[in-house]
Amino acid sequence: MTQKMNKFNSLKKTTKVDFATYLGVIVVFIITTILQNNGSLKRSAIGLLVPICCYMSMAVSLNLTVGILGELSLGHAGFMSVGAFSGIVASQSLMGAIPNAPVRLAISMVVGAIFAAIVGLLIGTPVLRLQGDYLAIVTLAFGEIIKELINCLIIGYDENGLHFIFNPAGNKTVDDLGLSASGTAIIKGAQGATGTATIATFTAGFILVMITLIVVLNLTRSRAGRAIMAIRDNRIAAQAIGLNLTKYKLMAFVTSAALAGAAGALYGLNYSSLQATKFNFNLSILILVFVVLGGLGNIWGSLIAAAALTILPEALRQFADFRMLIYAIVLIFVMLATNNPQVKAFFQKLLPHHRASAEKED
């Protein structure tokens, strides 16, 4: 036992934090599940579980791009959108072949991740070769383009397979798909995906968050992760020691996109109706706010920020008309407080252990 304790104490601080993060997520999952099963959780809280898991996964994956890689991405919702709609198409068209909902959900999330990764690769390959803020500009445009593209997409499924129409002029409808009588429309252009079978579950959300954490944390602590952070901290030095800049940047960016795609698929399969306009610039910024509030490069911070900022607007419903106003004020105060040295000092005083470690670091 003491040997084990010694082993734990000899672990690096980052490793300890990583294990604490995993443990925290697992504990919260178990507590929430118990509360849900004995009926002490309100409906409004239960309804929030899946979106919170999606946003957590989105925030952690964006943190990989923004915090660890150090590139600004303003189109993370675009990847979520790609994942959501490809996941919905996969789930709806596999309905007959795979009636088992959890299996279908898993396949849909993998499909969503693959499509988002392909799109991430297409965007990252040219843009990540450049230096400066180009990724921010391109991802910003990408988010808007994806929104418009999906508005032009009509997809249906019948026994002959999938039917696609790309409809940029806006003059085609579901009737032009040529579906057979048993066929169903999955995505109807501007009307979005409607009538989706909602198969997302909290357990799937938990597994997604865990996978996201394992992928991101292991990538960060690996050799590749150290290379990625080296590029962030000093590009020229990293290049001088022979690191392939584009390769490592792409690695982080595509991983981030794929995880966002999986989160999107889960999100899309949680609601029976989804429009492309949901994944707009505001959502990208919201996810960026999660990351910034939680701390750049701070994975558990992203988790907490995503959960807190998803719950907050719902918790403020009792303020009726002043809800969004109070939300904004709370956000400003939290931003100020987390960056205020006096507040930080106050919390360090409260936690003597922290103070000791902080002093050691100094």
Partner 1 sequence: MKKKFMCMLMAAAMTLSMAACGSKSDDTNTDANTDGTDSAEVQTFKLGSSGPLTGDAAIYGMAVVQGAELAVNEINASDSKIKFEFQKQDDEADGEKAVNAYNTMMDWGMQVLVGPTTTGASIAVADACYNDRTFMLTPSASSTDVTAGKDNVFQVCFTDPNQGVGAADYMAENYAGAKVAVIYRNDDAYSQGIRDTFVKEATDKGAFEVVYEGTFTNDTASDFSVQLAGAQNAGADLVFLPIYYQPASIIFSQAKAMGYAPTFFGVDGMDGILTMPGFDASLAEGLMLMTPFSATDEANQAFVDAYTAAYGTEPNQFAADAYDGVYIVKAALEAAGCTADMSNEEICDALVSAMTSLKFTGLTGTDMTWNAEGQVSKAPTAYVVKDGQYVKG
Site of interaction with partner 1 (CB under 8 A): 42-44, 46-48, 51, 148, 151, 169-171, 173, 175, 189-192, 194-195, 198, 267, 271-278, 313-314, 317-324, 346, 349
State how far the alpha carbon of 309 is from the alpha carbons of 2, 25, 42, 130, in Å. Answer: 41, 17, 18, 33
Cα(266)–Cα(334) distance, rounded to whole angstroms? Answer: 29
The answer to whether residues 84 and 112 touch, using CB atoms and an 8 Å cutoff, is yes
Chain centroid to CA 51: 10
Nearer residue to partner 1 within complex by CB, 23 or 343: 343
C-beta of 241 vs 320, nearer to partner 1: 320
Helices (H), the chain: 2-9, 13-37, 43-63, 76-93, 101-127, 134-151, 202-221, 223-233, 235-240, 245-268, 281-294, 299-315, 323-338, 341-350, 352-361
* Residue closer to partner 1, measured from CB, 19 or 319: 319
Which CB sits closer to partner 1, 120 or 189? 189
Least spacing, CB of residue 204 vs partner 1, in Å: 17
What angle, 0 to 180 degrees and rounded to 10, lies between the N-to-C axes of helices 76-93 and 281-294? 110
- For residue 77, the minimal CB distance to partner 1 (Å) is 13
Residue 44 CB, shortest distance to partner 1, in Å, is: 4
Residue among 54 and 69 whose Cβ is closer to partner 1? 54
- Residue 353 phi/psi, 5-degree rounding, is -60, -45
